[in-house]
Every structure is written in structure tokens, then in C-alpha cells.
Structure 1
Amino acid sequence: MKACSSFLDFHLYVLRGQAFSANTKFRWMGLKTSLPLPPWSVILSQVLFYFILEDFVFYWGHRVLHTKWLYKHVHSVHHEYATPFGLTSEYAHPVEILFLGFATIVGPALTGPHLFTLWLWMVLRVLETVEAHSGYHFPWSPSNFLPFYGGAEFHDFHHRVLYTKSGNYSSTFTYMDRIFCTDIDYRKQKALEVHEGRTS
């Protein structure tokens, strides 16, 4: 209930204010609304760029939120749930939501997409974060067929481990954690599970 209440409060009081000024901001970003729609090659390449850029920016922002002071005063709200579920994807301190929300909007701000592309990106981003916080590994999860995709299992590990050792800071893909070795404990755990599965 706490996550639901926080979710509603944030959307009613914080995002509503953002929505009123969104038209001006989006026009400044170069957002296009006219027909025809851009070619699918443009739409898909922009969305892929947004995912990669968002993951890079989110990784560093999330890693900073795991420093002692910011974790205690800001990010610990999101980690109140050791076993997250869909709504907890947006259950966080307002400062964190605005801080990490920058990662979501920076790609569109740089490219000035068509409104359709922006909506597609936002829908896919929300679906991804809800899936990562769902606690379920679905058969249709992108982690089954996309290399370097994190998914629920990857993010669940992040929520279960102490804040200083959690790693797995990426939002969508795992390449940043792999490059900077912040997924070592997760990889050790996965190797142990594989070994135990083979020996039992």
C-alpha cells in the first residue's frame, strides 16, 4: 500500500507540474508532431540509441546513489523492498526520480524525435523497468534472447544484497556492470547456482 500511495502522490503532485510545462520543453527539444511518421529505421535506431544512452547515464547515477550519504538520505527509500514488485519500480525518493529520470529524457533531448518515437520509447522504458522489478523471469523476457540484457533476476540480486556490495547498477543492459566489474558477486552467485545444479 505504501508503494501505491507514494506512486500516486508523485504522479499527482510532481509529474503533474512537469506535464504542464512539457509542451514548451518538448518544442525546445525539437519534438516533431506532423505526419508522415518517420521511417521505421529512424524510429528503431533512435529507440536503440535511447536505451544505450539511458543505460550509460543511469548506471553512473545509480552507482552514485549507492554512496553512503545519498543511499541513506535518498536511495534507501527505493530499497525498502528487498523483493521488489512492479509498482516499486517507481517507488523512490522524489529527488531520485528526478535525478534518474534525466537518464530517460536525455536521448530524446539530444535527437528531437517525433512524438510517436518519444511515446514508443517511454512505453518500452516503463515496461522494461516494471519487468525488471517484477520478480519474475518470464518466457518472453528479452533476457532470454538479448545478450547483455539484465531483467528481473539481475535486478533482484541488486535489491537483496547490502547497498555497498550490491552492484548490478545498470537499468537495462549489463555491459556497464561487466566493464566496471560491479557484477562480480552476481556472476559468482550464478556460477555457484550452475555448479550446484549440475552436481545435485
Structure 2
Amino acid sequence: MSISVFSVLSAMDLVLNVADYYVLTPYVYPESWLEDGTLRQIISLLVLTNLGAAVLYLGLGAISYYFVFDHKLMKHPHFLENQVQREIKYAMTSLPIISIPTVALFFAEVRGYSKLYDNVSDSPLGWSGLFLSMISFLFFTDMCIYWIHRFLHHKSIYKLFHKAHHIWKIPTPFASHAFHPLDGFMQGVPYHIYPFFFPLHKVLYLALYIFVNIWTISIHDGDYRVPGALTSVVNGAAHHTDHHLFFEYNYGQYFTLWDRLGGSYRHPSPLMGKGPHDVIRKLEAEGKLGSDGKANGNVRNGVTCKEE
């Protein structure tokens, strides 16, 4: 599922201007390094991108892990030993690599090649344009991510890149960005290219990407509650859990639209009484969990899960 932690810094000229004014110009760079110099901007973007990625991933991930994630899921037979530490380690080693091509796109934005704008008056549709661009952003990126995600599941390349993310059969919020670097970058591309094709207010761009990061973490947080009327429309944690468990279903990011059109929709097993929590309750009732609250290997092999 899409990685978007870098995108919160996408209106990078705003972030770069603030960093230059308060920190970089007075305390870091010599006077001979002009603020609009190519090398200085690239170095600054690399530093800000990696710092922002770490803060967002660890900060939002920790909030979700401690206040939303149900820790009983760690009793599930497919929850790995030291999984949380492994998820964090994998993400934190991948993010700096992903930042390299990402910064190239940020640099293009800073240099004015995108359609990002500063003021509502710059939009031909005014305030209504903000609302329309928000909706189109969600539907455009959802469509692109569906097909990129599905492509990454193709048998000829799956094991090379995307399988690393499917190690986490019962993901925690920290699995949200634990991708192979190429996988993570490819699934982040739709967020970056949208403002090169469509006008978008810079502040709205930042707000959308904060939302994207929260959403990406939320579909890995094990909270399967979805309002009944939205179950068939919104791709929530329950849907994405089945993607991790059964591999070839529910590729979407926000909506179920493209899964339905592409024939890959699966009604979530957690909403049918057949999800991870139900497995744990059954094992507890049968006395198949050890004294540490975890199942042994034999039990793990007997729990339904597709191995790719």
C-alpha cells in the first residue's frame, strides 16, 4: 500500500523558505552559498526530506501503535517475533534511499515546473476549485496506486520488490512504510506527479499529504471499524488486512472502486467474523496459545493464510 511519508513536504518551496529563514541561512550555510543555488537546494531538500520522513513515520506510527492498534493482535500465529522492531528497522533503512529520486521531484517543484499555486485567486474556479482539486487528487491517486500496486504483484517482479512488505501478515502501524525502496517510491509517484498535471493550492497539498500519511498508517492499524454504509465503498484496515493475508485482493488505497472494476474486491473477513481477532479468540478458547500468549509453529501452519 502506498508510501507517502515524503509527500507531506511536497510544496517544498514553502518548507525550504521557512528552513532557510530560521535555520539554514543564519546558522548552517556560508554567505557565499546563495539560497537559490542548485547544490544548496539539493542538499537542503535531502536533509529536510529525511528529517521530515523520520518524524512523520515514527511520530504518527507511535501515536497509532500506542493509542489505536490492538496489541492482542500480537498473539496471532502469523505475528512475527520482534516484528515491530523489524518493521521500524526496514522502514528506516528504506526511507533514505527512497528520498534520492523523491528529491529530484521536489527540486522540480521548487524550480517552478509544477502547477502548484499560492493564492486562491490564482485558481480559475476560486474556492470551488479547492474542493474539486481535493476530490480529483483522491480519485486520481487512488486509480494510479491501484494499478501500480497490482503491477507490483505480478509474479515476474513480486518477489523482487513487493514481497518484503507482505512479510507482515498481521501488520502494525509501523508496517505502513516498511517497503523495499523501489516499491515505496513507485507507490508514492502518483502523489508527486499530480501537481505537474493539475493545479493545486500549496497549503491544500500539504494538508492532503498529512491526510495521506494518516490514512496509510490507519489501514495498517488493526482497527477494523467502518461505518456500515461505507463498508462497500471505503478501503479500510479490514480490507487491507485481507490484502496482507490473502495477497491478491483489495489493492486500492482509499476506495473499493477499482478493486470492483478490476475483479479483485474481497469482502473483509474481519467483518464476517473470520478475521485475526476471531482466530485469536478461537485459539484461546481451545487452549492453543502458550503461556506467553503466542501460538506455536504447528498452530501457525493451521491458520488460513495464502503463502505467495
Q: Conserved in 1, the CA contact under 8 Å of 2:238 and 2:271?
A: no
Q: Report the counterpart of residue 194 of structure 2 in structure 1.
A: 107
Q: 1:91 aligns with which of 175, 178, 190?
A: 178
> Runs ≥4 in structure 1, deviation > 6 angstroms?
35-38
1:137 to partner: Cα distance: 2.5
- The question of 1:150 aligning with 2:235 is answered yes
Counterparts in 2 of 1:21 and 1:190: CA distance versus 1, 3 Å: closer
Query: What SS class does the counterpart of residue 170 from structure 2 fall into?
Result: coil
Q: Report the counterpart of residue 113 of structure 2 in structure 1.
A: 28
Q: Report the counterpart of residue 177 of structure 1 in structure 2.
A: 259
1:89 to partner: Cα distance: 1.3
Q: 1:7 aligns with which of 73, 91, 108?
A: 91
- Write 1 or 2 for the structure with the bigger share of helix: 1
1:191 to partner: Cα distance: 8.6
Query: For structure 1, which segment, 54-63 or 6-15, has the greater mean C-alpha deviation from structure 2 after superposition?
Result: 6-15
- The question of 1:187 aligning with 2:272 is answered no
Q: Conserved in 1, the CA contact under 8 Å of 2:105 and 2:192?
A: no
Which letter does structure 2 place at the counterpart of 1:92?
F
Structure 1: gaps spanning 5 or more residues: 195-200
Give distance in 2, aligned partners of 1:90 and 1:22. 19
1:167 to partner: Cα distance: 1.2
Q: Report the counterpart of residue 124 of structure 1 in structure 2.
A: 211
Query: What SS class does the counterpart of residue 79 from structure 1 fall into?
Result: helix
Which letter does structure 1 place at the counterpart of 2:88?
C
1:4 to partner: Cα distance: 1.3
TM (norm. structure 1) is 0.80
Query: What SS class does the counterpart of residue 267 from structure 2 fall into?
Result: helix
1:86 to partner: Cα distance: 1.3
Greater CA radius of gyration, 1 or 2?
2
Query: What SS class does the counterpart of residue 150 from structure 1 fall into?
Result: coil
Q: Report the counterpart of residue 197 of structure 1 in structure 2.
A: none
1 or 2 for the larger relative contact order (CA 8 Å, sep ≥6)? 2
Identical-residue share of aligned pairs (%): 20
Q: Report the counterpart of residue 168 of structure 1 in structure 2.
A: 250
Query: What SS class does the counterpart of residue 5 from structure 1 fall into?
Result: helix
How many pairs align? 186
Query: What SS class does the counterpart of residue 249 from structure 2 fall into?
Result: coil
1:22 to partner: Cα distance: 1.5
TM (norm. structure 2) is 0.54
Counterparts in 2 of 1:188 and 1:34: CA distance versus 1, 3 Å: closer
Query: What SS class does the counterpart of residue 28 from structure 1 fall into?
Result: coil
